[in-house]
Amino acid sequence: MSSEDADGMALPSSGVERVPGGCLPDWEVADLPAPPPYTLGGAFRNVIGPGIVALGIAIGSGEWILGPALTAQYGGALLWIATVAIVLQSFVNTEVIRYALYTGEPIFSGFMRCRPGSRFWAVVYVGMDVAAIWPAWAAMAATALAAAWFGRMPGVEDRETVRGFAYLIFLSCLALVMFGGKIYNTIEKAEIFFVVWILGYLLFIGLFMVPFETWARVAKGFVSFGTLPRSTEGVNWVLVGAFASYSGLGGYSNLMLSNYVRDKGWGMGKLTGAIPSAIGGQTVGLSHVGKVFRPTPENLGRFREWWRYVRFEQYGIWVCGCFLGMGLPALMTLQFVPVGQAVDPWAAAAFQAEGIARIAGRTFWYLTLLCGFWILYSTQLGLVDAMPRRWTDIFWTGFERFRGFDPHRAKWVYYPILLFYVLWGLISLSVAPPMVMIIVAASVGGFQLVVASVHVWHVNRTKLPVELRPPLWRQAGLLACAAFYGVWAVIAAMSVLKKIF
């Protein structure tokens, strides 16, 4: 393995063909593994996964909490923000996957290959993460569980019971990531179950209980670009900015697609391994540095075949799934909740169940609570894994000390970080209201996307060979994503400053 000079630049070693790797050790060169021949059935059987995991995380706070909360107050007037957010985030998603296909590394490794060096970027990205790692979704899922327990909407007086349920939900997520050989395998199987159940139930409600006129209002809201409520006086712009941030994925969650692609074994990720689970992962190893391929005609042909799977997963599953995940709860809100109703933060996960129960009966109260619980639980499960996963990848590759670890010891980095997150989460659940945690995390997530979109643009323009670099229209999409979230960050900041002063 190559060493580093005083400036953090990789020094070439001899004997193995390598490609300069910037501020980390150089990449070894190997041929790109061939994907299964592309067929629609083959995509579902052999390759599907990262997009489903991302979708399971995506349909949490933005789609089930923030979107319905705004829809209840303003009708469908602001749904166009979700359209812009989902489309622009798809550029980030596909471009971080592009990097992972070429290198077998998550995009965080690409960031650390840039000047001024890996230590600098490790501190930057971990530092931006600290303010966003709240267990808000466990707390929100607990409100749905408490509503079913009490048979009514929980209020502030029930917060101790809600908090107890939140502890149990949060710790159950910890238990799930202990098994599976590759931790990713467990997450994928769980998220597939959640996504199928959630979208199936919401589609049933939409198709059989919501009239065409409401569908038309929601569809119009998605394309009414620039529309604002008739009166902007009293609009909570921080809440609107949080909705923009968490429509789709938001923040580092978009970047995590590169980690999932690596662990799933797409592209060069097939040669670099995955993070092993604590139980059953003894034979799973993780390379500290990725491998790249020469842009030969054969390798480029294989890359194009992999890219067909990327398009299928991102546009056919993630983008379409995000629109369904946003639109179907909006349908329920417009149909069953009176427009203008303010949402109690303690009951945000359950207010749609109350609305549908008034029309369709008590059975749908419990079914909708269960749906809301699965939505929020799926998001929390994904996030319990995501934070230690990205920190592990940052440490594992970015610091020379960790690069000396045996490839099978990645779990001994992952699980201590997970323990830190769990302890932090348990403390947070005891002191912070769930809606406050979501809004803070979403606001930080918007800022993260500003920085990350520009950084992904830079990495893919400078670290990839010319033949694999994104076309100009994709580069423009990345910069447009940074600009979009930059605008919402400024609006939210000005709204907060106005309240203070």
Which tens digits make up the pLDDT trace of 411-439?
Answer: 999 999 999 999 999 998 888 788 888 88
The three-point CA angle 279-283-285 to 5° equals 100
Residues 6 or more apart in contact with residue 124 via CB below 8 angstroms: 451
What is d(CA 371, CA 364) in angstroms, rounded to the nearest whole number? 10
Cα separation, 7 vs 120, in Å, equals: 12
Judge whether 434 and 136 are in contact, CB under 8 Å.
Answer: yes
The helix (run of H) or strand (run of E) holding residue 260 is: helix 252-264
pLDDT tens string 319-365: 999 999 999 999 998 998 877 776 665 566 777 888 888 888 889 99
Q: Mapped to the 3 state alphabet, what secondary structure does 214-231 carry?
A: HHHHHHHHHHCCCCCCCC
Strand partners, 4: 10
Look over the chain and give the mean of its residue pLDDT values, rounded to a whole number: 88
> What mean pLDDT do residues 171-175 have?
89
User: In the predicted model, what is the mean pLDDT of residues 194-217?
Assistant: 94
Helix axes 136-150, 411-431, angle to 10 degrees: 60
Q: How far is C-alpha 198 from the chain's CA centre? A: 17
Tell how far CA 367 is from the center of its chain: 26
Strands 18-19 vs 27-29: parallel, antiparallel or unpaired: antiparallel
The pLDDT assigned to 269 comes to 95
Q: How far is CA 315 from the centre of its chain?
A: 15
Please compute, for residue 65, the number of CA atoms within 13 A of its CA located in the half-sphere on the CB side.
37
Q: Identify the pLDDT of residue 344.
A: 65
Q: How far is CA 221 from the centre of its chain?
A: 24
Please state the length of the chain. 501
| DSSP letter string, 31-100 | PPPPPPPP-HHHIIIII--HHHHHHHHHTTIIIIIIHHHHHHHHTTTTHHHHHHHHHHHHHHHHHHHHHH
The edge-to-edge listing of strands for the beta sheet with 18-19 is 18-19, 27-29, 291-292
Looking at residue 13, what is its pLDDT? Answer: 45
Q: How far is it, in rounded angstroms, from Cα 101 to Cα 468?
A: 10
Rounded to the nearest 10 degrees, the angle between the axes of helix 183-209 and helix 362-398 is 150
Distance (Å, whole) CA 145 – CA 162: 8
- Distance in angstroms between the alpha carbons of the first and the last residue of the chain: 56
Output the pLDDT for position 4. Answer: 40
Q: pLDDT category, 215, cuts 50, 70, 90?
A: very high
What is the model's pLDDT at position 102? 98
Our measurement of the distance from residue 11's CA atom to the centroid of its chain's CA atoms, rounded to an integer in Å, reads 35
Q: Tell whether the model's pLDDT for residue 155 goes beyond 90.
A: no
DSSP-derived pairing of the beta strands 27-29 and 291-292 = parallel
What are the pLDDT digits (tens) for 6-17? 333 334 444 679
204, 368 contact by CB (below 8 A):
no
Is the peptide bond preceding residue 116 cis, with omega within 30 degrees of 0? yes
pLDDT at 15: 60
pLDDT at site 8: 39
Tokens of 395: 């440490």
pLDDT at 501: 60
At residue 109, does pLDDT exceed 60?
Answer: yes
In this predicted structure, which of 144-158, 384-398, 419-433 has the lowest mean pLDDT?
A: 144-158
Lowest mean pLDDT of 291-305, 384-398, 463-477, name the range. 384-398
pTM reported for the whole predicted model: 0.92
Q: Is 471 exposed, middle or buried (0-12, 13-18, 19+ CB in 10 A)?
A: exposed
SS3 29: strand
Evaluate whether 375 touches 62 at the Cβ level (below 8 Å).
no
